[in-house]
Amino acid sequence: MTTTGTDSRRLRLGTRGSRLALTQSGQVADALMAAGGGGAATAAGEASEGSGGLSIDLVTVRTDGDGDRTPLRQLGGVGVFAARLRHALLDGEVDLVVHSFKDLPTQPVEGLEVICVPPREDPRDALCARDGLTLATLPDGARVGTGSPRRAAQLLAARPDLEVVDLRGNVPTRLARVRGLEVVGVGTDEPVAPSRADAAGDLDAVVLALSGLRRLGLEHCASEVLDLETMLPAPAQGALAVEARAGEDCPELARAVAALDDEPTRLAVTAERALMARLGAGCAAPVGAWAHLSGGEQEQRVLALRAVVTSLDGGKEVGCELSAELPEADSGPDTYGNAVAQAVRAAEALGIQAAEVLLEDGAAEIVDLHANKPRRD
């Protein structure tokens, strides 16, 4: 891979400037460099400590005034943040980017490829409520904030009496909306909407991804981790995707990617994203999905997938649960790659099959699956 200057081992990793984006990008960069024999990630312009191995500098990519030249629909209809990172990658401003996998479109972008899927963080959602309340103990009519139509629909399916309040902003900003959690503070990395500037402490609870809380060291703010029977996560929630330009060569990066890439995570998110693609679901569609791999070594590997589509008022749900046996990888290097590719194809087929079951059972009749608005979760 060709990068800055003449040192092909020194890479620039593009990231948004939010606290969560910087944190997860830094964690991935450190893991890649540890696998590639380098030091710790640094901000752009600072000298990294790695010698003779892979070095990665974090480069903050701004989203304002970026002068996009490519229509967003050609980048898969993603939100402006993911699109801007991809523009920076295609334009050669950076060599790698890290995305929250759930925020990427299912359509591929010509010239780019996901080169690494690190091990997935816990994909479940978390309730962050005042006074340590749980979903079951929230009072009637409690005000619960979320910017996700999926979370809103599943909340109402479990508790129709709740008042679900639309929510936006970074994680600390959202937490500060909960009475008793204002001490967490409002982050300065993303602006707070003027109408929300004086709204601290106006909610009884918010629902956030557990993975984001953990990466920020804020897991203690969760009063309850919602089980999968109550709230099925967004497809690929908790997973990260490392994206790069296709066809470029960097042996040090290739070795690091091979060490960090997690096959169980890749197979799970492949099935979940294939489901979304077959449904033609937009980012505002209330679709939940969770796949997990079991077996291995002496047991047959099985990939199981659960999925649900919920009406926006929580009154109707269409769900399914399917599984598929995966081919075993032989020990020889010549056959291992083929077995992995076959497993990915089987995971994709499982997601497509699940989507077709949902459609046959009327998923498209209870909600607009093509709803598409900026995702806020």
One-letter amino acid identity for 200? A
Contacts of 350 by beta carbon, 8 Å cutoff, 6+ apart: 271, 274, 291, 303, 305, 322, 323, 324
The residues that are catalytic are 102-103, 150-151, 168, 174, 283
Burial of 228 (0-12, 13-18, 19+ CB in 10 A): middle
Contact 181, 205 (CB under 8 A): no
b (16+ CB within 10 A) / e for 143-165: bbbbbbbbbbbbbbbebeebebb
Q: Which residue has the tokens 């980017």?
A: 97
